């Protein structure tokens, strides 16, 4: 049976998380009032409902899952984080001034632009990526949680000068006539320690030499290379969860009463949850695949 790491982790979440009576009551009452066409629009509408109890992303995800709403855990986490962000007009201006100062004409992708923005802001402010995201959307810059998450993972990635030296030597030898997926396979096969590489780190190393490959392509190629190395079946996750977390899980926010979520935060669909269909996954629930 082919099972991805994150399928098992989602199953573990469903098995371990306990929903409180207050959370269930709030969800049951408010879910009937939500509006929107896409999953994210409906979640944004839910988060704008009054009386929200203390709730973590995993608990909110399970409430949605039990209501047959298939949504990725990282999407839920990022939307919950964005719904509770408090940002000042000064911070909004700082972020957007920095964004407007960048050269957008020669950028390869929105992800590379966001990497440049986050690095630019890194020593000037303590704003988290989710706060930068909200600041940009306040001024109608079209940025979604997935792109910001990819950029955040690249900025946070730990790498050494030796890593940069390696990619400077290895990249010129890659056949650029090949599809990008095969280019990444060839590049990863030259990396000395696959256990030390993540999609975010590879994205950052490519950025360091002014190159860009789609993060999903990097993640899928990494899964294939590890599968070949370990002779096991790994189903690539889509999107790669390591890339799209905007911030670590934080303590739940206190109950708030907020107006309806602005349309600018009702972001387009970016991911789907993989349905938990196999009953015998329960035997794997207590086995952590990753630290």
Residue 215 predicted with pLDDT over 50: yes
Nearest residue to 75 (alpha-carbon basis) of 268, 285, 291:
268
Query: Which residue is it, tokens 């790498």?
Result: 159
Average pLDDT, the chain: 78
**Is 40 or 7 the better-scoring residue by pLDDT?**
40
Average pLDDT of the residues in 52-75: 89
Residue 217 predicted with pLDDT over 70: yes
Provide the pLDDT for residue 275: 34
pLDDT tens per residue, range 152-196: 999 999 999 999 999 999 999 999 999 999 999 999 999 988 888
DSSP state of 84: T
> C-alpha angle 176/231/203, rounded to 5°?
35
Most confident listed range (102-106, 128-132, 190-194, 199-203) = 199-203
Q: What region, left, alpha or beta, does residue 201 occupy, with left being phi > 0 and alpha being psi -120 to 50 degrees?
A: alpha
Average pLDDT of the residues in 98-125: 88
Tokens of 189: 């096969």
Domain residue extents for the chain: 5-83, 89-156, 161-230
Provide the pLDDT for residue 231: 64
Average pLDDT of the residues in 39-68: 89
Q: Tell me how far apart the alpha carbons of residues 118 and 100 are, in angstroms, rounded to a whole number.
A: 13
Residue 124 predicted with pLDDT over 50: yes
**In contact, 249 and 60? CB cutoff 8 Å:** no
Q: Tell me how far apart the alpha carbons of residues 248 and 44 are, in angstroms, rounded to a whole number.
A: 20
Cis bond before residue 239 (omega within 30° of 0): yes
**Is 74 or 31 the better-scoring residue by pLDDT?**
31
Instruction: Say which residues have a Cβ less than 8 Å from residue 267's Cβ, sequence separation at least 6.
Output: 40, 44, 144, 145
Q: Please count the residues of the chain.
A: 291
The H-assigned helical ranges of the chain are: 5-16, 21-31, 39-47, 57-66, 73-83, 89-101, 110-122, 129-138, 145-156, 161-170, 180-188, 199-208, 215-230, 241-244
Q: Tell me how far apart the alpha carbons of residues 4 and 24 are, in angstroms, rounded to a whole number.
A: 29
For residue 91, the tally of other CB atoms under 10 A from its CB is 18
**C-alpha R_g of the chain:** 20
């Amino acid at each position: 049976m082919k099972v991805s790491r994150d399928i098992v982790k989602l199953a573990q979440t469903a098995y371990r998380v306990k929903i409180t009576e207050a959370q269930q009551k709030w969800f049951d009452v408010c879910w009937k009032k939500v509006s929107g066409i896409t999953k994210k629009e409906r979640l944004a509408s839910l988060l704008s409902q009054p009386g929200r109890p203390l709730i973590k992303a995993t608990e909110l995800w399970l409430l949605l899952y039990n209501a047959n709403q298939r949504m990725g855990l990282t999407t839920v986490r990022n939307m919950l984080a964005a719904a509770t962000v408090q940002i000042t007009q000064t911070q909004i201006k700082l972020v957007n001034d920095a964004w407007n100062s960048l050269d957008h004409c020669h950028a390869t992708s929105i992800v590379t632009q966001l990497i440049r923005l986050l690095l630019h802001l890194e020593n000037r402010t303590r704003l988290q990526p989710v706060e930068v995201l909200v600041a940009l959307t306040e001024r109608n810059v079209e940025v979604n949680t997935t792109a910001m998450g990819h950029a955040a993972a690249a900025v946070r990635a730990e790498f050494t000068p030796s890593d940069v030296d390696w990619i400077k030597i290895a990249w010129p030898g890659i056949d650029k006539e090949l599809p990008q997926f095969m280019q990444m396979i060839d590049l990863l096969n030259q990396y000395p320690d696959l256990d030390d590489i993540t999609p975010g780190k590879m994205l950052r190393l490519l950025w360091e030499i002014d190159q860009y490959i789609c993060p999903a392509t990097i993640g899928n190629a990494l899964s294939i290379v590890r599968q070949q190395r370990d002779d096991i079946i790994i189903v690539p996750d889509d999107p790669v969860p390591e890339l799209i977390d905007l911030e670590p899980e934080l303590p739940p926010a206190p109950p708030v009463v907020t107006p309806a979520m602005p349309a600018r935060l009702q972001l387009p669909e970016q991911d789907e949850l993989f349905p938990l269909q196999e009953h015998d996954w329960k035997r794997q629930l207590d086995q952590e695949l990753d630290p």
